Amino acid sequence: MTLHATIDKVTDRIRERSLNARGAYLQKIARAALEGPARAHLSCGNQAHAYAAMPDKEDFATTRKPNIGIVTAYNDMLSAHQPYERFPDIIRRAGHAAGATVQVAGGVPAMCDGVTQGRAGMELSLFSRDVIALAAGVALSHDCFDAALYLGVCDKIVPGLIIAAATFGHVPAVFVPAGPMPSGLPNDEKAKVRQQFATGEVGREALMAAEMASYHGAGTCTFYGTANTNQMLMEFMGLHLPGSSFVNPNTPLREALTVAAVERAAAITNLGNAYLPAGEVLDERAFVNGIVGLMATGGSTNLVLHLPAMARAAGVILDIQDFNDLSDVVPLLARVYPNGLADVNHFHAAGGLGFTIGQLLEGGLLHPDVKTINGTGLDGYVAEPKLDGSRIRWEDGARESLNDKIVRPITDPFAKTGGLKQLQGNLGRGVIKTSAVAPERHVIEAKARVFEDQESVKQAFRNNEFTQDTVVVVRFQGPRANGMPELHSLTPVLAVLQDRGLKVALVTDGRMSGASGKVPSAIHVSPEAATGGPLARLRDGDLVRLDAVTGTIDCLAADFETRTPASFDPAASSEGVGRELFAAFRAVAGPATEGAGVVV
């Protein structure tokens, strides 16, 4: 199938924009690759320190066996990362069987946005991405590894690990997923109980019972939030093995896929003939494929923030106009909560990523000729893994949807576009996700209520202050202000107002969770208010128009441009739960339009 003209055009635009940065990046990783396996340059003392605790230290010191480093986000307070506790032993055994040595190079932090949602700790969330990149960089700085296995799943973890993998772009990288937890209480029922709690219809006991029934075991949360969007992305970008993203933890198939990932890592090092540096996988075509996957599946808006930062680490410069233009031509092929009733397990059973990739390839909407860890182009990712004894055998995946209420062919999509729109106007530049928003709510024009924290919005709700159509503005939530927290805890409140018949919208320089959906939300608005951005000039009662059809967002007050902006008081976000440690990050964070990065 001929590549779609817009895919081609956007890719060329990114390539041209990135020419100098990408060229310098490729030269850097080529120089590193020419030096050969790094362990060859270690002194005897260096090597002795590196292999002192290894049971097979002689192999490390005297043979050309590849040494594989594990960078792990394991902890046992996150359901998504708890399965990784067992992975190092599985990987060591598989590595030895494949003729390699294996070491845990280091760990990276993995915080849970579900635990910190609406709490002060959420203000560390975005910057944890940069900390993860730094921690992975420290792990790999020992220069002992011929390939790296990255064990990470959730919101900032995968983007942080990608930044590290790109920075060490001469080292082959394989990302190893852990899978989603089995289905529990349906996500729409959980959301209903949350709204009932917000209105006082049910008490905390009922709320706790619903939450515990939803989040009930090891693995990622089953809705299509940022964690599962990350997993989709790794498959579309060729860094997972085909079909591995949504296989449940602690199953024979999951373990066999992990073994296969180790074997693949051992096969693509600089010691053999199939050398595949991570930096060559992470080119502009891979990032375009990732954005296409984001649009086709209705993924998390957090990736609109993370992908530009990830790409910059590989010398690829993305702009939100790229997301907008790709969204215009990529149809929505999946309905997974919050964009539908199904969860990721249902999506996987209905044909999942293999079917979706196959459909997009047929439509000319993906670059097929990319480099992937599978050793094929992207056409290898329409296959489905099956157990053959204890080994993996890839078979042809589903050619037809097994449930057209969850996933559809490209000839009969749920929507003709990907449901993400760039917004521009006198309030700045941001994005809105419309795939779960009813069409009649794509344009909201109403008076603004301006708040400077989430709790004030909730208090106004409790005081019954929202009695008319309202644009709720929550400013001073950007990276320079307080680290750009998610504002997902406002979703039940705004959803209740919407269900009462009011037209409501959210406008913010902060983020919304990947689990947010049906309330129109203009997010990542940049320049942010803390740097004097336009949101700082808004006042209560200003008429604001959010138009997701034309892609505009404006304050209609005649004197808006001449007003003095409100000033930001950093005191509320400067201390407590570690926020003191991140003052330096807040001071230098980039704009949301460039990924709000610190290290890139």
Convert the pLDDT of each residue in 285-315 to its tens digit. Answer: 999 999 999 999 999 999 999 999 999 999 9
Residues 180-197 have a mean pLDDT of 79
Q: Report pLDDT for 50.
A: 84
Q: What is the mean pLDDT of residues 508-524?
A: 85
Q: What pLDDT score does 481 carry?
A: 97
pLDDT digits (tens, 9 = 90+) for 61-95: 677 899 999 999 999 989 999 999 999 999 999 99
Q: Say if residue 277's pLDDT is above 80.
A: yes
- Give residue for tokens 């635990």: 115
Tell me whether residue 221 is annotated as binding.
yes
What does residue 46 show for φ and ψ, rounded to 5 degrees?
Answer: -55, -50
Helical H runs in 251-399? 252-267, 278-281, 284-297, 302-313, 320-329, 344-349, 352-362
Helix (H) or strand (E) holding 132: helix 125-140
Please state the rounded mean pLDDT for residues 369-380.
95
User: Does 208 score more than 80 pLDDT?
Assistant: no
Instruction: Please report the pLDDT score of residue 273 as a whole number.
Output: 92
pLDDT band at 515 (very low <50, low <70, confident <90, very high): low
Lookup result for tokens 């990721």: 344
Q: What is the pLDDT of residue 61?
A: 67
Q: What pLDDT shows up at residue 27?
A: 98
d(CA 526, CA 534): 8
The fraction of the chain above a pLDDT of 90, given in percent, is 80
For residues 382 and 191, which has the higher predicted lDDT (pLDDT)?
Answer: 382
Residue 137 confidence (pLDDT): 97
Q: Which two tokens stand for residue 233?
A: 């992305």
**Are 373 and 264 spatial neighbours (Cβ–Cβ below 8 Å)?**
yes
Per-residue pLDDT band for 258 (boundaries 50, 70, 90) equals: very high
So what's the pLDDT on residue 257? Answer: 97
Which pTM does this prediction carry?
0.94
44 carries a ligand binding annotation: no
pLDDT at 213 over 80: no
The single-letter code of the amino acid at 471 is V
Residue with tokens 């530049």, as numbered in its chain: 429
Which structural domains are found in the chain, ordered by start?
A: 5-182+217-396 (no CATH), 420-594 (3.50.30.80)
How does pLDDT run across 4-37, given as a tens digit for each residue? 999 999 999 999 999 999 999 999 999 999 987 7
For residues 470-496, give the mean pLDDT.
94
